[in-house]
Amino acid sequence: MTYRLPARLFRWLVVCWSCILLFSIGACAATPISAPYYSYTYDFWANWVPSPPAYLPDRVYSGTTLGVGALNIPQDIFVAPDGRVYLADTGNNRIICMDSDYRVIQVLTEFSDGSSTHRFNRPEGLFVTEWGELYIADTNNGRVVVLDQDGGFLRIIGPPVETDDTEGLLPNNFVYRPKKLVVTPSRHMYVIARDIHDGLLKFNAGGEFAGYIGAPEVKPSLWEIIWSRIGTREQRERRALFLPIEYANIDVDHKGLIMAVQPGVVEKKKESIKRLNQAGEDVLIRAGFHDPLGDILSDKKSSLSQFIDIVAREAGTYSVLDKEYGRVFTYDSLGNLLYAFGGMGDTAGLFRQPIAIDTNGPDIIVLDAAGSFTVFKPTEYGKLILAALLLYNQGLYDESAEIWTQVLKYNANYDKAYSGIGRALLRQGDYVGAMTYYQLGQNRSGYSDAYGMYREQVIQEKGGRFMTIFLAVLFALYLFSRTRAFAAVKQLLSINDTAATSALSAPVSDEGPMAAELTLVERLARWAKETGRALKYSFHLLAHPIDGFWELKYEKKGTTSAAWVIILLVVFTLVLHRQYTGFIFNKNDLERINLVMLALGVLVPFFLWCGVNWALTTLLEGKGTFKDIFIASAYSLVPLILVIIPTIVVSNFLRAEEGGVYLFGMALSLAWMGLMLFIGTMVTHEYSFFKTAGTCVLIIAGVAVVLFIGLLFSTVINHMIAFILSVYAELMFR
């Protein structure tokens, strides 16, 4: 027997199920998509540091979801001041206008100027002014079309025309193809045009061509300059011209300054992002840990990013879009990287051909030329970062510090937050606390300011007491030196020293059961005394280098053991320098130290110098043996020990503005060492001044050649090992 539900009950169940389904769909649409990418920043030493996501993808819109048909190679998206969103659907020759909720209001494919109808031809750029005027770069029609917010015609700005002031600026047979544009609050328009390498085309408020601004600098390499001089005419003509690179995109910040990005790999350029004033000068502040170049390598020699668009944001921040890896990098007004997110792929939140970026309030919109755009919404972490920056810009430093404290709960490795808290503590007069937080945030300039105020405070509070105690101690020592007790102590020390000397110089007895042991002890004692005497001689050598190196060689005032002690002391000095130099001048990662590499950093150059020195001077009639060269070169390193150690101590009491003292100490140690090496080479080999100079140049060149050959050899060995391993893997897994 078959049971059937009543028709009324069946219809009621269908309605309920439909409501549940619609509710679930609506809830899913309102729930942000989980992040399919990693968010990160870079620390002071260019290490990749993971961080919580500052933005999550919310919705992905295509032409189909918008109800206007598939998008065809869209090239630009722009959010107007009133919240409307405009999209340049370049391949379909149309402009799509949406409201702030991304519902299509109208689609513009043509406009009428009152006498005729005009159609767009591959429009690539959009801009909407605060007065509601829509500027469209109608690229293949060679013009800029200005419409009102309802699509009504206002005017056309055609190709640039030379005037008396701009005569000769436009190239011959110039074809105007505007790609991107912005309009400043003063109604000046700036245009990026195809095949224009002289910067941005400037048009005044009346639409007249007024010249160029912001031409990117051309910096050919040294090899390119040399080749252009020595190459034949045909070779020079075949080589690429040194032309500036066109800008990829531009925007206007809240001050009316133009934000611009240059395309291409920015390996050799530190100015891929620019902030141009009205004179075309780059005024972008680059005071962060690293220049705003997007992704950077750990060796700090190149960049991986290729910027395609930029958007100016609140509190002087700006976000740039990397077309190579689909990442969005956001920087503050000083050039500090706040966060990075995004990537390439087919998953929601990733891109296939990222082409443009803009913001809709706190949201970030990224346009994909493959036919869609993604709306990203800030997480609580991202909102806190923006709130802290806004509060700081308003002068609410204490409130900003409270927000930064909350940021640290999400990300304890966020250097910007530590600096923000340190800044607030500095204003409150807590200089020690400010120094602590500035050090945690690797902010050396802020630390210097806090330390300067702390030092001044200590001097005012305790300076008089310290000087009184210091002078009292000096006066007490002077009085003690005039007493009989001091003379008695001095005489006792002299007697003990004479007794020790007699014991060391006494003949050694070979008789008795303890003779061998005593002989070993005495030998060690004599070795220590001889080494100490040789080390003490280094002070005489520094004061009288010519006579000192002569006696070092011919009167054997120096020993091999003393030379080794000096080398070990140099290694120890460099370890101290790395770990204990004042924070302001110490840019090493103190949590990572490799004693082996530090030792090799001394031993390898030292023995290369000695080896190449001996090899060359043997051919150049030098009089020194390898042992002579080794001892003389080791004694020449003594200035490093004598100067660097006091410099390390002093560096902990200096501000950044007083860094000249620290730099002078380091330069003095190197210059003094170089002078001693020069004199030691001259005396050891009995050369003239000019022959010594030439020999030193040859030695340095020889060291460079040996290093190059060693590097080349190690590279070949590494490739051979990699090849053998790949062949082994193929044989094992096939």
Distances (CA, A) of 560 to 423, 527, 555, 569: 54, 11, 14, 14
Q: 414 and 323 in one domain?
A: no
**CA 83 from chain center: how many Å?**
36
Distances (CA, A) of 720 to 294, 707, 712, 716, 734: 34, 20, 12, 6, 21
Helix (H, G, I), strand (E, B) or coil at 667: helix
Quote the percentage of the chain above a pLDDT of 90.
Answer: 63
The upper half-sphere exposure of residue 53, i.e. CA atoms within 13 Å in the direction of its Cβ, equals: 19
Angstrom distance (rounded) from CA 419 to CA 439: 8
Dihedral sign for Cα 527, 533, 534, 538, please: positive
Angstrom distance (rounded) from CA 396 to CA 399: 6
Q: Could you identify the residue written with the tokens 């050799």?
A: 268
Judge whether 586 and 666 are in contact, CB under 8 Å.
Answer: no
Q: Which amino acid is at 120?
A: F
Tokens (6 digits) for 551: 């006696």
Q: 161 and 269 in one domain?
A: yes
Helix (H, G, I), strand (E, B) or coil at 730: helix
Q: 561 and 705 in one domain?
A: yes
Q: Which amino acid is at 192?
A: I
Segment 517-546 shows an average pLDDT of 85
Angstrom distance (rounded) from CA 160 to CA 210: 9
Whether residue 525 lies inside any domain: the answer is: no
Whether residue 86 lies inside any domain: the answer is: yes
Angstrom distance (rounded) from CA 180 to CA 252: 12
pLDDT at 505 exceeding the cut of 50: no
Total count of domains within the chain = 3
Helix (H, G, I), strand (E, B) or coil at 98: strand
The band of 269, judged by pLDDT with boundaries at 50, 70 and 90, is low
Q: 466 and 330 in one domain?
A: no
pLDDT at 547 exceeding the cut of 80: yes
pLDDT at 504 exceeding the cut of 90: no
517-531 burial code (b ≥16 CB/10 A, e <16): eeeeeeeeeeeeeeb
CATH code for the domain of 450 = 1.25.40
Tokens (6 digits) for 597: 């590499």
Considering the chain, what is the average pLDDT of its residues? 86
Quote the percentage of the chain above a pLDDT of 70.
Answer: 85
Question: According to the per-residue pLDDT averaged within each range, which of 45-54, 208-217, 218-227, 719-728 is highest?
Answer: 45-54
Angstrom distance (rounded) from CA 81 to CA 128: 8
Q: 425 and 367 in one domain?
A: no
Q: 441 and 361 in one domain?
A: no
The predicted structure's pLDDT at residue 480: 78
Judge whether 153 and 112 are in contact, CB under 8 Å.
Answer: yes
Beta-ladder partners of 274: 260
Residue ranges with strand state E in 350-482: 354-360, 363-368, 372-378
Segment 663-669 shows an average pLDDT of 95
Whether residue 122 lies inside any domain: the answer is: yes
The predicted structure's pLDDT at residue 264: 62
pLDDT at 449 exceeding the cut of 80: yes
The predicted structure's pLDDT at residue 17: 39
Beta-ladder partners of 97: 86, 106
Segment 691-703 shows an average pLDDT of 93
Q: 190 and 77 in one domain?
A: yes
Whether residue 98 lies inside any domain: the answer is: yes
Helix (H, G, I), strand (E, B) or coil at 48: strand
Q: 201 and 79 in one domain?
A: yes
pLDDT at 268 exceeding the cut of 90: no
Which of 358, 378, 398 is the last residue in one of the domains? 378
Tokens (6 digits) for 654: 């200096």
Element (H, E) at 687: none
Q: 174 and 104 in one domain?
A: yes
Judge whether 349 and 39 are in contact, CB under 8 Å.
Answer: no
Tell me which residue range forms the domain holding 94: 50-378
Helix (H, G, I), strand (E, B) or coil at 348: strand
Tokens (6 digits) for 601: 């950093």
227 vs 124 pLDDT, higher one: 124
Judge whether 687 and 676 are in contact, CB under 8 Å.
Answer: no
Beta-ladder partners of 138: 143
Beta-ladder partners of 86: 78, 97
The upper half-sphere exposure of residue 155, i.e. CA atoms within 13 Å in the direction of its Cβ, equals: 6
Select from 408, 369, 366 the least CA-distant residue to 385.
408
In the 3-class helix/strand/coil scheme, how is 427-459 assigned residue by residue?
Answer: HHCCHHHHHHHHHHCCCHHHHHHHHHHHHHHHH
Beta-ladder partners of 373: 61, 367
Which of 466, 481, 496 is the last residue in one of the domains? 481
Judge whether 134 and 144 are in contact, CB under 8 Å.
Answer: no
Q: 265 and 413 in one domain?
A: no
Angstrom distance (rounded) from CA 691 to CA 696: 9
CATH code for the domain of 211 = 2.120.10.30
Tokens (6 digits) for 413: 């490795």
Q: 438 and 317 in one domain?
A: no
Whether residue 284 lies inside any domain: the answer is: yes
Residue 490, C-beta contacts closer than 8 angstroms, at least 6 positions apart:
none
Angstrom distance (rounded) from CA 440 to CA 434: 10
Select from 203, 196, 199 the least CA-distant residue to 157.
203
Judge whether 386 and 380 are in contact, CB under 8 Å.
Answer: no
| Per-residue pLDDT tens over the stretch 89-112 | 999 999 999 999 999 999 999 999
DSSP 189-258: EEEEETT--S-EEEE-TTS-EEEEE-PPPP---HHHHHHHHHS-HHHHHHSPP-PPPPP-EEEE-TTSPE
Segment 429-450 shows an average pLDDT of 94
Tokens (6 digits) for 317: 């921040």
pLDDT at 430 exceeding the cut of 90: yes
| Per-residue pLDDT tens over the stretch 316-341 | 999 999 999 999 999 999 999 999 99
Distances (CA, A) of 672 to 222, 538, 648, 666, 667: 32, 14, 17, 10, 8
Whether residue 178 lies inside any domain: the answer is: yes
Select from 98, 67, 68 the least CA-distant residue to 82.
98
Segment 288-294 shows an average pLDDT of 90
Angstrom distance (rounded) from CA 615 to CA 540: 29
Whether residue 287 lies inside any domain: the answer is: yes
Whether residue 386 lies inside any domain: the answer is: no
The predicted structure's pLDDT at residue 244: 61
Segment 625-646 shows an average pLDDT of 95
The predicted structure's pLDDT at residue 198: 85
Backbone angles phi, psi at 214, to 5 degrees: 70, 35
The predicted structure's pLDDT at residue 297: 64
Angstrom distance (rounded) from CA 363 to CA 317: 14
Q: 309 and 190 in one domain?
A: yes
Which of 328, 357, 378 is the last residue in one of the domains? 378
Segment 414-425 shows an average pLDDT of 94
